[in-house]
Structure 1
Amino acid sequence: MQNETNIRKATTADIEDIQHIAKKTWHHTYEGIIPRYVQDRFIEQAYSDENMERRVHYSVLLLAEKDGKPVGFANLFSKGKEAMLGALYIDPRAQGKGIGSALLGEGFKELPDVSIIHVEVESENHGGLAFYEAQGFRLSEEYDDELFGHVLKTKKLYLEL
């Protein structure tokens, strides 16, 4: 069937595709906001093979495929009744097609005991903020965060399920 989106749990075989999507999306989203060397250092650390193996085994890591090709992923970490959406990245060419909403919905299904989800968004990531607000997330706090010497203006949002 043409134009079908499939969402499934990621496996270690998907790590390279997820790393590629993360890098491409970060560069697209944060160009002019976060220096490229900071982006690359973050991606290298957060999406190392070792960290990705842990994500596959100890968190909810979902992969979205469109016509059999990886186009996005979501990563949620839960603790009791609360969860953190650590990543929701969609290939820039596939954005605006409902893939992010579908990944979020599947993530919620994977965490039936969770009643609140948190996410942190860089305040200049207007597309990300608009997406989360459209999903019903609300602002809980704003603060400065440091990423390898670069100060980020961070907004923490939450969604009650």
Structure 2
Amino acid sequence: MSADIIIRRIDAEALPIVQQLAEEIWPHAFDGVIQRHQIEIMLGDIYALESLENEMNSLGHVFWIARHEHVDAAFLSAFKRDDVTWIKKLYVLPDRQGMGLGKALIRTALEHFGPSRALSLNVNNGNTNAIAFYRHNGFEIEAEVPVTMGPFEFTDFVMTRTL
């Protein structure tokens, strides 16, 4: 990991940082993938502090924030089910992409959860940039599944990297 990247596991008190990063990142990450009004509604639902706290406290999701050059620039949440580590959320500020933050966060989650058979995630099937990042990092499309995010229905790819 680069010396200018610092990753820290966060508790519920730091979830407003995740919320703020999501509000900044999502309009870029989903531009041309989902409609602007959908982004706003989903951010309000999925990134409400109560929703994030529920993921952390009731569902066992662990959250990390990556700082790059003194700026909170990325976040990841993950959990382990059976012998598979699942990435739930992975987002990087647009101007910090390509600097190793996503890879460093993935490594951190894998180290935290210990040995796993695989690393898996869901990604919107129209999010070509994210799909390309995951393919570049050894993930393959395993399935196509319907998902509900907030009040909207989408289709995701389940992508998996065998470990």
3-state DSSP of counterpart to 2:131 = helix
Contact 2:6 2:68 in 1 (8 A): yes
Contact 2:46 2:150 in 1 (8 A): no
2:140 to 138, 141, 148: 138
3-state DSSP of counterpart to 1:34 = coil
2:114 to 112, 115, 128: 112
Change beyond 3 A, Cα 1:48–1:150? closer
Contact 2:45 2:150 in 1 (8 A): no
Output the CA distance in 2 between the equivalents of 1:93 and 1:152: 27
Change beyond 3 A, Cα 1:53–1:147? closer
Output the CA distance in 1 between the equivalents of 2:152 and 2:50: 25
- Structure 2 partner of 1:67: 69
Change beyond 3 A, Cα 1:150–1:49? closer
Identical-residue share of aligned pairs (%): 21
The code of the aligned residue for 1:11 comes to: D
Q: CA deviation at 1:147?
A: 4.2
1:85 to 72, 87, 96: 87
TM-score w.r.t. the length of structure 1 is: 0.88
3-state DSSP of counterpart to 1:114 = coil
Q: Which moved more, 1:133-142 or 1:47-56?
A: 47-56
Change beyond 3 A, Cα 1:79–1:145? closer
Q: CA deviation at 1:153?
A: 3.3
3-state DSSP of counterpart to 1:89 = strand
- Counterparts of 1:9-88 in structure 2 under 5 Å? 9-57=9-57, 58-88=60-90
TM-score w.r.t. the length of structure 2 is: 0.87
| RMSD of equivalent CA atoms | 1.9
Runs of 5+ unmatched residues, structure 1: none
Q: CA deviation at 1:67?
A: 2.4
Contact 1:6 1:64 in 2 (8 A): yes
Task: Spell out, residue by residue over 1:105-128, the C-alpha distance to the aligned partner (whole angstroms, 9 max, x if none).
Answer: 111001104221211111221111
Contact 1:122 1:154 in 2 (8 A): yes
Aligned length: 159
Task: Spell out, residue by residue over 1:65-120, the C-alpha distance to the aligned partner (whole angstroms, 9 max, x if none).
Answer: 11232100011021121222111000111111110000001110011042212111
Q: CA deviation at 1:12?
A: 2.5
